[in-house]
Structure 1
Amino acid sequence: MATDTSEGARPGPPAGAAGHGPLPGRPVRTPATALRFAPAVSPRTLLSRALSVPLALGLSLVLPLLVAVQPGDGVHDTAYWLQLTLTVYAGARLSGMVLTSHRKLLQGSFWLFVYMAMGVAPLAQAVLGKVPTPVVGPRSDVTEAVALVLIGCAAFDVGALLARHRPGGRGRGETRPALVHRRRLYLLVVVAFVCSAALILKLGGPAVFFSSRQEIIAGIEEAGISQADSQAGQALLRGFGTVPALFALLAYTRWLVTSRRARRSPAVIAVWIALAALNTVVNNPVSNPRYWFLTVLLSLLFTVFPVSAAMYRSALSLGVVVALVIFPFADRFRYDEQNYHPVETTSILEPLALKDYDQIGMFANTITFERSGVGHLYGKQLAGSILFAVPRSVWPGKPHDTGVMVGEWMDAVNTNLSSPVWAELWIDFGPAGMTLGLLAMGYAAARVDRRYARRAIRRTPPGSLISLVVPLVAGYSFILLRGPLLQASGRVAIAVICIAMVITYRQDRGAALR
C-alpha cells in the first residue's frame, strides 16, 4: 500500500525509526556524518572554555590558598578568616568578569582592585603579620574593617543585579548618543598643548619628566606650590598638564581606529603623532604615580581594541600579575639614586606586605579615628572633595584628605596614605550609608557597562563619546577606589571640563568626526 503524501496528511515517523527508511532526499545521520551537522565552534571559544576552569579555580582557590599556607607570624583569628573569605569571593567575581560574554569594563576594574588591594595583598599581610602602615587600634577594628568591605562588595553585586532586572524594554527611552564635535576637538588639542607646555616650562623642561617623581615634587615646590600649602593648586597644575593631553590622544586614537578616512588624512595622523609625543613626556611612568599610568595604559588599550573580548580578558588577567608582581617594585622611579632603598627579602609575600597596599589597615585606622571622639562627619569629607577647588582662604574649615587627616592623628611620618572608598563613605555616613553607596555604585557601573556594550557592538560613529569616557573611567577607577577622594577630584573635574568642551548631540556631517 502506497504512503499518502498529499497535503494535509499526517506525517509519518521520523527518519531512522524502526521499520522506516530515510525520507527521500535527506541523508542518513550516522555518527560520522553527524559531526558535519554539529554547530561550528571557533578556536577562540574552545580556548575560552578550556581556560575557564583553571582560571576560576586559580583566582578563587589556588592563589588564596597558596598565600595562606606560607610561613609567617600572623594570627589565625576572625579577621584572618574573614580576609580569606573576602579574597576567595573577590577571586570568584573577578573570574566571572573575565569569562563573561560581554565586556564589563567598570565592574571588571572594580573587582580587579578589590582582588589585588583588598584581597590577596592584605591576606599576605595577615599571614606574615606585617603591614605597610601601622594599625593603631585594637584587632577588633581590623575585623570590623574586613567585614565592612565584604558587606560593601555584596552591596555592589546587589546593585549590579538590580540594574540587570531594571524594568523597561531594551533600549527604550534612550536619547541620541553624545558625540565628539570635530571643531571643538581641534580646540581641545590646542588647549592640551598649551597646558602641557606650561607644566613643562614651570618644572624646568622635559628632562625633569624622565628623572623621578621626587624631582617633579621638588620642581612644583620651586614653582611656589607646595603640597602642604595648596593641595588644590598642585592638583590643578598637574591635572591641566596631563588630562587634556590624554583625552585628546584618546579621541584621535579612536578616530583613527574606526575611520578609514581619518587613516588616509596626513593631518589627522600628524596630530596623533604630536599628541603621542606630548603624552610620552607628561604621562610617562617615570614621573607619574603608578595608578595614573595604569589609567593611561588601560584607557589606551580599550580605545585601540574597542570590541575585542580577548583583549578585555587579557587585560584583567594580566592585571593580577601586574598588580601583585610588578607594582610592589614599580616605585623605582619615585626616588632618586640616593633615596631609593629596595626591599631585600627572600619571601615572595613580603613585598606585598611592606609596600603600598594599606587599604584594609587604613580602613581600620579610620574606624579607630572615628571612635576616638571625632564621630561621623555626615558629608563633610565628600563636600571637600566636590569643592576641592575652593581655596582655604575662602573656606577656612575646608577638610583635608581623609588619609592625611587620619595620618596626622596617628602621628605618621608619611601622611600620603590611602583612604579607600569604603572608608570615605563610612567616615561620612556610617555603615548604612556605606552600604547604600556601594549599592548605588554597582547599579551605576552595571548600567553604564550595558550601554557601553551595546554601543561597542553596533556600528557607532568615530566620535562616540561613551566609547572614550568608559575606558578612561575604568582606568581611573583604581585611583578613585584607592582614595583619598580629595586627591582624585582634581583630575576628575578637569576631565569633565574636557568632555564639556567637545560634547555635542548634533548628528550632521559638519559636527561629527568623519
Structure 2
Amino acid sequence: MPVREPSPAAERAGRRSVPALCLCTVVLVLLLPALVLYGQDVRTGAAFAVQCVVVAHTGGALARVLTDPLVRVVGFGFWLFCYVWLGLAPLAMLATDSYPWGFAVDAGTAFTSAALVETGLLAHSAGSALAGRRTPRTSPVLEPLLARRITPVRTLLLCGLSLALAAVLVPAQGGPAAFFQSRQAVNEAAAQGDPGGAADQALAAWSLSVPAFWALLALLYVPRTPGGDRTLRGVRWILLPVLVAVNAVVNNPVSQPRFWAGTVLLTLLFAAPALCRPRAFRAGAATVTAVVLLVFPYSDYFRHERREPVEIVSLAEQFTSNGDYDAFQQIATGVDHVRERGHRMRDALGPPLFFVPRAVWPGKPGDAGVTLARHAGYSFENLSAPLWIESYMWAGLPGVVAVFALFGAAGRRIDGVRHRLREHGGTLAALAVTAFGFYQIILLRGSLLFVMGPLTLLLLAPVLITGRPGRTASGRPYPESPSEPPADPATAPGPVPAGAASRTRTTFSTTSTGEART
C-alpha cells in the first residue's frame, strides 16, 4: 500500500491550537497562582522561588495536555495531580509558612523538597519527550495487549461473580446501610475491632468494589457482534440496573475514599466512545480540572459523623489546612527522615512483593506513609507517601530520576497506543488505560504498599475478561495498526504512473492524523 500524505486540512486538524495553548498557560501559570496568593502575606525565599518554577512547569505541561491533538489520559492524570497537589498547594504553604499537619521543617528542608519535586518532573518530562519522539507506528508489545477486546461470555461470568460476592460480603459487613456510614465511623469501627483483621476487612472491601466496577464498565461497553445478539442485549438490560445498584452501594463516595469514587465515575464517563475523541476529551479534561480545583475541597462533607455547614474559604486556606493536600509536607517529612536514617534500597522490594505475608517475610518493609507519620510523631498513621519521597528514600536523587524517567516514557507510549486504538470500542486501551489514568492520582499520592493491591486487582480484572482481537464489524481482520486500515483488494490502487505522482501525494487517510476523525 503506497504511503499517503495528509492533506492541508488534516494537517491543520492534527496541530495544536496556539491561541488555546497560550490561554491555558496564562490561566494555569499566572492567574490561578495569583488567585491563590491574593491577600496573603507572602514570605519569599529560595524554596518559594523553586516552587514558582514547579508551578510554571506543571501548569505549562497541563496546558499542553489540555490542548494536545492526541488523547493523553495518562498524561492528564499525572499533570493534574502535580499541578494541584505539588504545584498550587505547596505554593500556598511556602508563601504562608502554614501546613496541614503539625510537623514543621526548616527552610533548607523545604528547599530540598521543592528541588526534589522539580527533579522528578524534569525526569518525567525527559522520558515522555524521548518516548514521544521515538514512538513507532505500532508497538509490538503494547498494541497487541491493549487491543484485546472484552468478550461477552467472560463479561457475564464477571457479572455473576461480582453479584455473588455482593450477596455474600454485603450482609457479612452489616448490610447496605453499613456502606453509607461516614468514613470516620468506618475507621473507628475498624480500630475497635481486631487489629489483625484490618487487612482482611480492606481485602473484602476491594474484592467487592473492583469486580463490581469492572462488571458494570464491561457490560456497558462490551462490543456487539456484527449480526447482533438478542440474548446478550436482553441480559444486558436485566443486569445493568442490578449492577448500577450494587455499585451505588459498594462504590459510593460516602464511605469510600473520594479518590476511588472519582476514579470509578471518571472512568465510566471517559471510556465512552464520544470522549475518546480528541476534541471531546479536551473539553472533558478541562471540566475535570475545574471541578478538582473548585469542588473537590468540599467533597469531604460525608467524611465525619457530625457534619458542619459547608463554609466557602479561599484556595490558600484550603491548601494549607486540608490534610488531603499533605503531599508536599509528607515529602519534606521524608527528606528529614532520610537525613537522620539514610536511604534503604531494600525497601523498594516491598511494593512489588506486597502479596508476601509478614509471617513468611518477617523483615518485610513497612508502609512508607506509616513510617513518615511515626517519624513526625503523629497519633494517626493513615497518611500519604508520594512517589517522589518513596523513590528518594530508596536511592536518593538517582532513584527519583530513574523512576520518573521510566514512568514518563511508559505513560507516553501507553497514551500513544490508546490514541491509535481510539476508534475501537471495548478494548483494554479504551477501558483499562482510562481507569489507570485516573487511578494514577492515588498511585502518585501513595503510599505504594497501600495502593499496589487494589492496582493489581484493577488491572488484572480487565485482562481476564478480554480475548485476542478478532474481526472488525465489517468482517475484516483486526488491523495491526488501526490508524492505517488494511487495503481492500478490490479497491487497492495499482501502480501509479509517473505523471500522476503529484495527484497521489494529496490523497490521504483521515485516520493518519491526530484529529481528522473527530
TM-score (structure 2 length as normaliser): 0.81
Q: Percent identity?
A: 31
CA distance in 1, matches of 2:467, 2:44: 57
Structure 2 residue 360 is the aligned partner of structure 1 residue 394: yes
Aligned 8 A contact 1:124 1:352 in 2: yes
Per-residue deviation, 1:378: 0.3
CA distance in 1, matches of 2:442, 2:174: 27
- Counterpart among 206, 214, 217 of residue 250 in structure 1: 217
After TM superposition, the structure 1 = structure 2 runs for residues 477-492 of structure 1, keeping only pairs within 5 Å, are: 477-492=440-455
CA distance in 1, matches of 2:407, 2:349: 18
CA distance in 2, matches of 1:331, 1:506: 42
CA distance in 2, matches of 1:140, 1:436: 24
- Residue in structure 2 matched with residue 85 of structure 1 by the alignment: 53
Name the amino acid aligned to 1:268.
R
Per-residue deviation, 1:501: 2.5
- Residue in structure 1 matched with residue 134 of structure 2 by the alignment: 166
Name the amino acid aligned to 1:183.
V
- Residue in structure 2 matched with residue 15 of structure 1 by the alignment: none
Name the amino acid aligned to 1:236.
L
Structure 2 residue 247 is the aligned partner of structure 1 residue 284: no
- Residue in structure 2 matched with residue 406 of structure 1 by the alignment: 372
Q: Structure 1 residues 168 and 288 mapped into 2: Cα distance closer, same or farther (>3 Å)?
A: closer
- Residue in structure 1 matched with residue 28 of structure 2 by the alignment: 59
Give unmatched runs, 5+ long, in structure 2. 1-7, 473-518
Aligned 8 A contact 1:212 1:287 in 2: yes
Q: Structure 1 residues 172 and 504 mapped into 2: Cα distance closer, same or farther (>3 Å)?
A: closer
Aligned 8 A contact 1:104 1:450 in 2: yes
- Counterpart among 295, 307, 326 of residue 326 in structure 1: 295
CA distance in 1, matches of 2:10, 2:439: 39
Name the amino acid aligned to 1:207.
A
Shifted more, 118-127 versus 306-315: the winner is 306-315
| Structure 2 counterpart SS, 1:294 | helix
- Residue in structure 2 matched with residue 99 of structure 1 by the alignment: 67
Name the amino acid aligned to 2:277.
S
Per-residue deviation, 1:473: 0.2
Larger Rg: 1
- Residue in structure 1 matched with residue 439 of structure 2 by the alignment: 476
Q: Structure 1 residues 347 and 319 mapped into 2: Cα distance closer, same or farther (>3 Å)?
A: same
- Residue in structure 2 matched with residue 237 of structure 1 by the alignment: 204
Q: Structure 1 residues 132 and 117 mapped into 2: Cα distance closer, same or farther (>3 Å)?
A: same
Q: Structure 1 residues 387 and 66 mapped into 2: Cα distance closer, same or farther (>3 Å)?
A: same
Aligned 8 A contact 2:76 2:285 in 1: yes
Give per-residue Cα distances to partners, 1:463-501, cap 9 Å, x unaligned. 422221101101100100100111111211222441343
Aligned 8 A contact 1:203 1:220 in 2: no
Name the amino acid aligned to 1:365.
T
Per-residue deviation, 1:171: 5.5
Structure 2 residue 345 is the aligned partner of structure 1 residue 375: no
Per-residue deviation, 1:388: 2.3
- Counterpart among 305, 309, 325 of residue 278 in structure 2: 309
| Structure 1 counterpart SS, 2:44 | coil
Give unmatched runs, 5+ long, in structure 1. 1-37, 510-514
Give per-residue Cα distances to partners, 1:247-272, cap 9 Å, x unaligned. 11111121279989479822112222
Q: Structure 1 residues 506 and 310 mapped into 2: Cα distance closer, same or farther (>3 Å)?
A: closer
Name the amino acid aligned to 1:317.
A
CA distance in 1, matches of 2:452, 2:269: 24
Name the amino acid aligned to 2:321.
L
Q: Structure 1 residues 398 and 220 mapped into 2: Cα distance closer, same or farther (>3 Å)?
A: same
- Residue in structure 2 matched with residue 184 of structure 1 by the alignment: 154
- Residue in structure 2 matched with residue 421 of structure 1 by the alignment: 387
Per-residue deviation, 1:367: 0.8
- Residue in structure 1 matched with residue 172 of structure 2 by the alignment: 202
Aligned 8 A contact 1:235 1:487 in 2: no
Q: Structure 1 residues 41 and 107 mapped into 2: Cα distance closer, same or farther (>3 Å)?
A: closer
Aligned 8 A contact 2:386 2:447 in 1: yes
Per-residue deviation, 1:198: 3.2
CA distance in 2, matches of 1:322, 1:395: 43
Per-residue deviation, 1:65: 2.4
Q: Structure 1 residues 134 and 181 mapped into 2: Cα distance closer, same or farther (>3 Å)?
A: same
Cα RMSD after superposing both structures: 3.0
Per-residue deviation, 1:456: 0.4
Q: Structure 1 residues 424 and 169 mapped into 2: Cα distance closer, same or farther (>3 Å)?
A: same
Structure 2 residue 467 is the aligned partner of structure 1 residue 498: no
CA distance in 2, matches of 1:106, 1:259: 31
- Counterpart among 93, 113, 119 of residue 87 in structure 2: 119
Per-residue deviation, 1:93: 0.7
| Structure 1 counterpart SS, 2:325 | coil
Q: For CA contacts below 8 A with separation 6 or more, give which structure has more relative contact order.
A: 2
Aligned 8 A contact 2:71 2:278 in 1: yes
Name the amino acid aligned to 1:446.
R
CA distance in 2, matches of 1:167, 1:416: 40
Per-residue deviation, 1:218: 4.5
CA distance in 2, matches of 1:46, 1:178: 29
| Structure 1 counterpart SS, 2:345 | coil
Aligned length: 460
Q: Structure 1 residues 151 and 486 mapped into 2: Cα distance closer, same or farther (>3 Å)?
A: same
CA distance in 2, matches of 1:501, 1:397: 33
CA distance in 1, matches of 2:464, 2:312: 50
CA distance in 1, matches of 2:414, 2:240: 28
- Counterpart among 349, 356, 373 of residue 316 in structure 2: 349
| Structure 2 counterpart SS, 1:416 | coil
CA distance in 2, matches of 1:39, 1:433: 45
TM-score (structure 1 length as normaliser): 0.82
Name the amino acid aligned to 2:185.
E
